[in-house]
């Protein structure tokens, strides 16, 4: 609430940051409790609401989920923009509620009044409509600021990367790649400049809303006025806060990872040893980073609170925050009643037991997973060649995954990219080249001289090589130029009598729908590199996703929906074990022989050891365990 008087002296941001640290010392139990309570409320209340908003929008747009390139078109639609606005504002709301509670406690301390974390939370929820309106207004302005720069970057991408397959540009980085990269960086720099300036000008909008007797629009305007000519100082404040947070977090994470890697040398494939190192490192990192996260959130709120006190009109604690005069010592304790401590004492071990059981439910005691050789055993033979198929068979893979598309004259060939630039420096597009020419293209010498006799294979050649020896997962790629790819693929499979040895999948959702319409009883899967929404609603028999997206909750939803889950491209032993522990149905890998070895080792591990390996792969204790080899798709 505003009060009469002249503006306060211009306090430096360094002093504001140090004052925030000083305030943390005075009332840290109250601040920590407010931050933790906000996280709990966000998890139980806001997260389900945001998820419902997103799900409702996606149900209208794409049957519950959109994937890959369809995401762009969804976000550019009016429904997508509105959904993005509401979901983003709802997500930001959780942080603003926490900062409101923290700032309210800090205001009480400044006026020597007994304001507890519960008082701060009550005040935050009293003002929740105004806080949400503030977030929505801010998001609208940011979307308007960002649109031209995002559009410019998109135009550069479409113009500069249209000549060849994107995988060629990413792997070889020709001159036009660097030209486009510079132009896109310039667009991103413009985006950062305008959006960043806008965010800096709103640094004290929240305390202006809470204590300056301003509405949402007035709070934004008041913050803009107060920060005029001071944006670099605000940037310095955020820089100090971010640097301190990063440094402490990196120290804790790096120290834990370093200790774990002492116990787990790089390149180790001994899962029992991996589990031992991970168990210690993960506990250190989790507890340390949780504490850092709480302190960081509190310090940021207190620093902005102090900045507002130095730059804006004087104010007093809002009258609706009921409080009494109290000592600092009284406010620095939580004053939790005895019955609450008893309840907490019962809830913590019960919750830990419940979570432990839920986690162990996701750890398979016995392994029921199949191994798919990615584009053949492409770790030791040129991808999508007959040599790679034979290598996959020799490595005892259950499946071999291949990519198919059509030539100019309608022959179904096995090749991943739209052209041959990445592996053969040949710019010809497959759909523009007849089979007679495609079949003569060298498809192996790029990998090694021993493969110089390999040529681009037809689907029929691959199926004949695989028949009765290994099952085949066929990914259909149209690149927008498919003629009759679905019908021709089905015709070849049926003519060779291999419908029981084949599954089909595609990144293109209409292709998946066409396949299911043509052969309802065949097994057809939806491939998704990135997605928004609930993939389990897509009409497919299985899903194939990047291993980074294979979280326990998602895997459970997939299985509960009656679908199977394949993950790609998994080449690190710890990540292989992690995926096996989580219960995925198929692992797609360049190294099927290694996957077989991991299965053999896992037979000697206890469930706890398997769990620790899984945690370590996610946490990054084992170097490279959280990386997938591809950037586009399987």
Q: What does the pLDDT look like over 459-510, one tens digit per residue? A: 999 999 999 999 999 999 988 787 899 999 999 999 999 999 999 999 999 9
Rounding to the nearest 10 degrees, give the CA dihedral for residues 246, 249, 250, 255. 160
Q: Would you put residue 173 in left (φ > 0), alpha (ψ -120 to 50) or beta?
A: left
Helix, strand, or coil here: 467? coil
Strand duo 502-506 + 524-528: pairing: parallel
Mean pLDDT value across residues 526-553: 88
Which pLDDT does position 3 carry in this prediction? 40
Helix, strand, or coil here: 359? helix
Rounding to the nearest 10 degrees, give the CA dihedral for residues 580, 582, 585, 587. -50
Helix, strand, or coil here: 252? helix
Which pLDDT does position 2 carry in this prediction? 41
Instruction: Indicate the range of 122-136, 311-325, 333-347, 468-482 predicted with least confidence.
Output: 333-347
**CB 67, CB 535: distance < 8 Å:** yes
How far is the C-alpha of 237 from the C-alpha of 310, rounded, in Å?
13
Helix, strand, or coil here: 148? helix
Instruction: Give me the domains of the chain, ranges plus CATH numbers.
Output: 13-343 (no CATH), 370-619 (3.20.20.190)
Mean pLDDT value across residues 38-51: 74
Which pLDDT does position 439 carry in this prediction? 94
How far is the C-alpha of 10 from the C-alpha of 311, rounded, in Å?
6
% of the chain at pLDDT higher than 90: 45
How far is the C-alpha of 479 from the C-alpha of 471, rounded, in Å?
25
Mean pLDDT value across residues 450-467: 96
How far is the C-alpha of 5 from the C-alpha of 199, rounded, in Å?
28
What is the length of the chain?
634
More confident residue, 40 or 349: 40
Q: Which helix (H) or strand (E) holds 185?
A: helix 175-201
Which pLDDT does position 607 carry in this prediction? 64
Contacts of residue 588, defined as CB under 8 A and 6 or more positions apart, other chains included, come to 372, 374, 401, 544, 566, 567, 568, 569, 570, 634
DSSP string, 35-73: HHHHHHHIIIIIHHHHHHHHHHHHHHHHTTEEETHHHHH
Helix, strand, or coil here: 198? helix
Helix, strand, or coil here: 603? coil
State residue 538 phi and psi, 5-degree precision: -70, 140
Which pLDDT does position 429 carry in this prediction? 93
Helix, strand, or coil here: 398? coil
**CB 444, CB 383: distance < 8 Å:** no
How far is the C-alpha of 553 from the C-alpha of 547, rounded, in Å?
14
In 322-364, which ranges are E strands? 324-325
Strand duo 471-476 + 399-406: pairing: parallel
How far is the C-alpha of 367 from the C-alpha of 613, rounded, in Å?
15
Mean pLDDT value across residues 237-261: 87
More confident residue, 365 or 251: 251
Instruction: Using pLDDT thresholds of 50, 70 and 90, give the confidence band for residue 517.
Output: very high
How far is the C-alpha of 529 from the C-alpha of 71, rounded, in Å?
11
**CB 364, CB 610: distance < 8 Å:** yes
**CB 268, CB 629: distance < 8 Å:** no
Which pLDDT does position 516 carry in this prediction? 95
Which pLDDT does position 1 carry in this prediction? 40
How far is the C-alpha of 265 from the C-alpha of 623, rounded, in Å?
9
């Amino acid at each position: 609430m505003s009060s009469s008087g002249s503006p306060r002296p211009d306090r430096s941001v360094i002093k504001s940051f140090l004052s925030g640290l000083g305030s943390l010392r005075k009332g840290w139990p109250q601040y920590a409790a407010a931050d933790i309570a906000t996280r709990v409320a966000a998890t139980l209340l806001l997260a389900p609401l945001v998820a419902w908003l997103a799900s409702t929008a996606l149900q209208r747009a794409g049957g519950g989920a959109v994937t890959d390139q369809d995401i762009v078109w969804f976000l550019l639609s009016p429904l997508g923009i509105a959904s993005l606005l509401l979901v983003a504002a709802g997500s930001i709301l959780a942080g603003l509620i926490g900062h409101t509670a923290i700032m309210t406690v800090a205001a009480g301390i400044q006026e020597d009044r007994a304001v507890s974390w519960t008082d701060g939370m009550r005040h935050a929820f009293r003002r929740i409509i105004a806080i949400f309106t503030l977030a929505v207004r801010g998001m609208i302005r940011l979307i308007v600021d960002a649109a031209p720069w995002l559009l410019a970057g998109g135009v550069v991408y479409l113009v500069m990367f249209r000549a060849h397959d994107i995988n060629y540009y990413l792997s070889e980085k020709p001159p036009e790649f660097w030209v486009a990269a510079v132009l896109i960086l310039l667009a991103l720099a413009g985006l950062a400049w305008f959006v960043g300036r806008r965010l800096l000008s709103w640094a004290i909008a929240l305390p202006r809303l809470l204590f300056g007797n301003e509405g949402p629009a007035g709070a934004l305007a008041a913050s803009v006025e107060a920060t005029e000519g001071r944006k670099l100082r605000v940037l310095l404040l955020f820089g100090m806060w971010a640097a301190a947070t990063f440094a402490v977090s990196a120290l804790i994470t790096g120290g834990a990872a370093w200790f774990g890697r002492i116990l787990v040398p790089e390149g180790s494939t001994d899962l029992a040893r991996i589990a031992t190192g991970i168990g210690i490192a993960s506990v250190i990192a989790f507890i340390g980073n949780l504490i850092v996260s709480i302190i960081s959130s509190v310090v940021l709120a207190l620093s902005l609170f102090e900045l507002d006190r130095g730059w804006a009109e004087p104010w007093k604690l809002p009258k609706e925050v009921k409080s009494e005069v109290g000592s600092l010592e009284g406010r620095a304790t939580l004053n939790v009643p005895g019955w609450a401590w008893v309840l907490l004492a019962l809830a913590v071990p019960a919750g830990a037991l419940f979570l432990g059981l839920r986690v162990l439910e996701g750890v398979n005691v016995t392994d029921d997973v199949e191994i798919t050789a990615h584009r053949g055993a492409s770790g030791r033979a040129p991808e999508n060649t007959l040599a790679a198929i034979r290598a996959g068979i020799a490595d005892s893979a259950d499946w071999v995954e291949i990519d198919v598309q059509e030539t100019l004259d309608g022959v179904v060939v096995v090749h991943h990219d739209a052209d041959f630039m990445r592996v053969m420096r040949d710019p010809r597009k497959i759909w523009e080249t007849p089979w007679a020419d495609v079949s003569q293209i060298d498809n192996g010498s790029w990998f090694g001289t021993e493969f110089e006799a390999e040529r681009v294979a037809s689907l029929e050649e691959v199926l004949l090589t695989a028949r009765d020896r290994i099952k085949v997962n066929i990914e259909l790629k149209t690149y927008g130029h498919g003629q009759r790819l679905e019908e021709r693929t089905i015709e070849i499979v049926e003519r060779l009598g291999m419908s029981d040895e084949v599954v089909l999948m595609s990144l293109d959702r209409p292709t998946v729908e066409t396949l299911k319409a043509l052969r309802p009883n065949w097994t057809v899967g939806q491939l998704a590199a990135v997605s928004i929404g609930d993939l389990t609603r897509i009409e497919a028999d299985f899903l194939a996703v990047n291993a980074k997206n294979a979280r326990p909750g998602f895997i459970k939803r997939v299985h509960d929906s009656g679908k199977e889950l394949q993950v790609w491209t998994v080449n690190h032993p710890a990540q292989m074990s992690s995926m096996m522990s989580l219960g995925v149905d198929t692992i797609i890998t360049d190294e099927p022989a290694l996957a077989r070895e991991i299965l053999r080792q896992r037979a000697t591990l206890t469930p706890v050891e398997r769990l620790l390996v899984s945690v370590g792969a996610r946490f990054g204790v084992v170097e490279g365990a959280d990386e997938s080899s591809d950037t586009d798709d399987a």
